[in-house]
Amino acid sequence: MILLFTGNGKGKTTASLGQMVRVLGRGKTALMIQFIKGPWISGEDELAGKFQISSDKFQIRKMGLGFVGILGDRIPLEEHKKAARKALDGFIEEKNSGKWHLIILDEINVAVSLGLLRPAEVLEAVKDFPENRILILSGRGAPQEFIDAADLATEMREIKHPFQQGKKAKFTVEF
């Protein structure tokens, strides 16, 4: 089953993590591969250690190099593309391993909208994902091809956000 979380509103990664909690609660395994988010530590990165969840049941892999072209990013676009390609290849390897009941491709929609990956290559990678497992594609700007391929698609719509008043990301809310 393919789930898609997109839109300009907050909550795409949060919804993905909620699904991950449900899967872990049922004794299944879950992997999140992050395509854009860089090396900083967020609350979900600390989850496994605090709740003593073994790495064979739950992993978050930060494979992105951070925000692309904003917030002082000076990394060449080609390096971001290489990181996205490596993350997609990692997904293919893990998908074929059969180890994970849930795999989340966090911010993959953004990676595609920024031109780091092509929609066709992502669709090729996910096309034979087993029906008895769950795949989540998250991030704003999902291409129509992803929406069409999804079994469930949800759009988060921003109504109000502190960022609109110039406030920065808040600890425990955004990270």
d(CA 42, CA 173): 10
- What's the pLDDT score for residue 172? 67
Say if residue 21's pLDDT is above 70.
yes
d(CA 167, CA 172): 15
- Single pTM value for the model: 0.89
pLDDT tens for residues 130-159? 989 999 999 999 999 999 999 999 999 988
- What's the pLDDT score for residue 46? 85
- What's the pLDDT score for residue 66? 84
The alpha carbon dihedral of 71, 77, 91, 113 has a sign of positive
d(CA 99, CA 172): 30
pLDDT tens for residues 33-61? 999 887 778 888 887 777 777 889 999 99
112 CB contacts (<8 Å, ≥6 apart)? 118, 119, 122, 141, 142, 143, 146
Domains (ranges, CATH) in the chain? 2-165 (3.40.50.300)
Say if residue 166's pLDDT is above 90.
no
Are the CB atoms for 57 and 30 separated by under 8 Å?
Answer: yes
